[in-house]
Amino acid sequence: MGTRTSAVRFVTVCAAALLPSLTLARAEEPSSQPVPEQQTRQLWDDAFANSRPPAAKPARRPRPAPAPTANDAFVGVTVWKLEPAAATEASRAVAISSAPNESWLAHRVELGAGFPEGQRVRLSFEASCRGFLYVIDREKYADGSFGEPYLIFPTLRTRQGNNEVQAGRVVEIPDLTDHPPFFTMKRARRDQVGEVLTVLITPTPLAGLAIGRSPLHLSGEQVREWETRWSTPTRQLELKGGAGRPYTRVEKEAAESESRLLTQEDPLPQTMFRVSSKPGDPLLVAVPLAVTKASAPR
């Protein structure tokens, strides 16, 4: 991505953890019979949506209340791919501006999709519970090793450092007020294959982090200790048919204002994590983003 001091170099999450240094695990459903992924995702969606506030005027019947699942939390992540918007498109669609005469249209992509160098991306996070959100970025290399960890959220540049999350509250990285409001996928080394974001939700703020306007360099030992203490089984599913859907006005409004919560009627995250965790425990989830060498022009 760009430089660490501007946005990061690259790339809510109230869920347990996949460690960036481990293969993403898919926990088994607690059932003797396999459940189709589409059906399972619908159950997750119902549970996640019901954690949000209801709409003032529901457009349809309320979602069925799923049976409570003890010690489970849900985290939503949406990765957005940005493409330049023509003047006619920008006037009709929900556009993201990065300069007076520069607009971008955002569309959802599945989390496993790779990005060529130069691709601009944004990320949205949402949690099904209250807590404090931290996002750590590391480069990943072809031999499986990782670069130095940087805390890219919170910073004083985004929401003045406020990192509280709750059901319905969206956190977008970079913020829409950042300049630029996107990451640019870029390899720092020839053997770099991507970035891994470690997303951490804690019940209380982490002590001893002196955040500023730029990403904070963290100790690798400290990050490994958090991973060892707080990782738990996690399963991941994509929203069927969600890839390619455009950024909506309600999603933009929720990203712009901390008081604007998404409701049960609003769009759900593209990627959902179900995390097995104990109530009150910090939660971790890993978000991998692959970057490939840009294709040579013909």
Of 239, 233, 238, 208, which Cα lies nearest the Cα of 285? 233
Joined tokens for residue 83:
């493409």
Q: What is the pLDDT of residues 211-242, one digit of tens each?
A: 999 999 999 999 999 999 999 999 999 999 99
pLDDT at 16: 36
Euclidean distance between CA atoms 77 and 286, whole angstroms? 11
Please classify residue 207 by burial: count the beta carbons closer than 10 Å to its beta carbon, then call 0-12 exposed, 13-18 middle and 19+ buried.
Answer: exposed
Task: State the distance between the two ends of the chain, measured CA to CA, in whole angstroms.
Answer: 24
For strand 114-116 and strand 283-292, is the pairing parallel, antiparallel, or unpaired?
Answer: parallel
Joined tokens for residue 4:
């660490």
Q: What is the pLDDT of residues 271-298, one digit of tens each?
A: 999 988 888 888 899 999 999 887 655 5
pLDDT at 13: 40
Q: Give yes or no for a contact between 213 and 155, defined as CB atoms under 8 angstroms apart.
A: yes
C-alpha 277, offset from chain centre: 19
Euclidean distance between CA atoms 238 and 110, whole angstroms? 7
pLDDT > 80? residue 149: yes
Angle, CA of 248, 250 and 251, to the nearest 5°: 65
pLDDT at 71: 61
Euclidean distance between CA atoms 49 and 210, whole angstroms? 34
Q: Give yes or no for a contact between 128 and 47, defined as CB atoms under 8 angstroms apart.
A: yes
- What is the average pLDDT score of the chain? 84
* Percentage of the chain lying above the pLDDT 90 cut: 64
Joined tokens for residue 112:
């496993």
Give me the mean pLDDT over the 251-270 stretch.
95
pLDDT > 90? residue 209: yes
Of 164, 199, 134, 169, which Cα lies nearest the Cα of 51? 169
Q: What is the pLDDT of residues 34-74, one digit of tens each?
A: 567 888 999 999 999 999 999 987 666 655 655 545 567 88
Query: CA torsion 201→203→204→209, rounded to 10°?
Result: -20
pLDDT at 57: 75
Q: What is the pLDDT of residues 157-170, one digit of tens each?
A: 888 899 999 999 99
Euclidean distance between CA atoms 223 and 225, whole angstroms? 5
Q: What is the pLDDT of residues 91-107, one digit of tens each?
A: 677 999 887 778 999 99
Q: What is the pLDDT of residues 102-134, one digit of tens each?
A: 899 999 999 988 999 999 999 999 999 899 999
